[in-house]
Structure 1
Amino acid sequence: MLFLFPGLEMFMRINGRARATTDEALLVRLSEGGKRPKTATVVAIDEVLFHCGKAINRAGLCRTDRQVDRAALPTPGRMVEALDAAAQGRAADAAAAGQLDAHYARAVRYDLYG
């Protein structure tokens, strides 16, 4: 796992093993904003390393003027629909992509803990 800290000139790497869990007791403890998560990631940490952030600073990852223009990339819905269509050997459906985008847009704003 890699953790970036905007504004700090370092990043943290955790090496270990992770697993998904639906353990009810753990999920209750992880509740936030009155919502219980559906799953959790449990990480068995072998080592934690801090790295100099020179490469991140050179890349300008935290600089808004260096971010990719969203219009230059397909939307999440278009990407998922294109992958699904290719896997099924059919043409991508623009309406399905639009529905996926609408679902995603709502989820990232209103379903943060659900």
Structure 2
Amino acid sequence: ATGNKRLDSAHNVVETGRAGLVFIVPGRGATLRVNGRACISADPRLLERLTPVGKPPRSALVVEVEEAYQHCPKAFLRGSAWKPEAWLSEDDVPSSAEITLSHVGVPGLTLEQIRQSERESLLHRYE
């Protein structure tokens, strides 16, 4: 995917030169943990190789793996992450649009505008 164009994680990588990643596979308890030195690259030669949606991303996370290991699944098992019957109902948690509106602080931005933007993003992201 081309990403959400937010730089939260990229900021942390630039600041520390490190990354810790957890790879999650739905239906599996164990996860893969990867830690290492990291940087953000905008090298066109790298980015042109990363085109799963037909166009290259604007940047890429590059990780030199120092550690890779299976991570304990206790939190997923205890939290019932893979049990839909244990999940909260959609009415009990804010929508992604509501969360975005509460965080961006853009004067005049409405919930409906964010919802419309999310719908359009889903329609056009994978073209």
Fold similarity call, TM over 0.5: yes
| Structure 2 partner of 1:106 | 120
What is the count of residue pairs matched by the alignment?
107
TM-score, with structure 2 as normaliser: 0.68
Alpha-carbon distance between aligned partners in 1 of 2:61 and 2:88, rounded to the nearest angstrom:
30
| Structure 2 partner of 1:63 | 83
Equivalent pair of 2:53/2:126 in contact (CA under 8 Å): no
Residue 15 and residue 68 in structure 1: after superposition, are their counterparts in 2 closer, same or farther (change >3 A)? same
Equivalent pair of 1:75/1:101 in contact (CA under 8 Å): no
Alpha-carbon distance between aligned partners in 2 of 1:43 and 1:108, rounded to the nearest angstrom:
28
Q: Which of the two has higher C-alpha Rg?
A: 1
Equivalent pair of 1:78/1:98 in contact (CA under 8 Å): no
Structure 1, unaligned stretches of length 5 or more? none
Moved over 4 A (4+): none
- The aligned amino acid for 1:6 is P
Percent identity of paired positions between Structure 1 and Structure 2:
25
Alpha-carbon distance between aligned partners in 2 of 1:76 and 1:7, rounded to the nearest angstrom:
23
TM-score, with structure 1 as normaliser: 0.74
Which structure has the highest helix share of the two?
Answer: 1
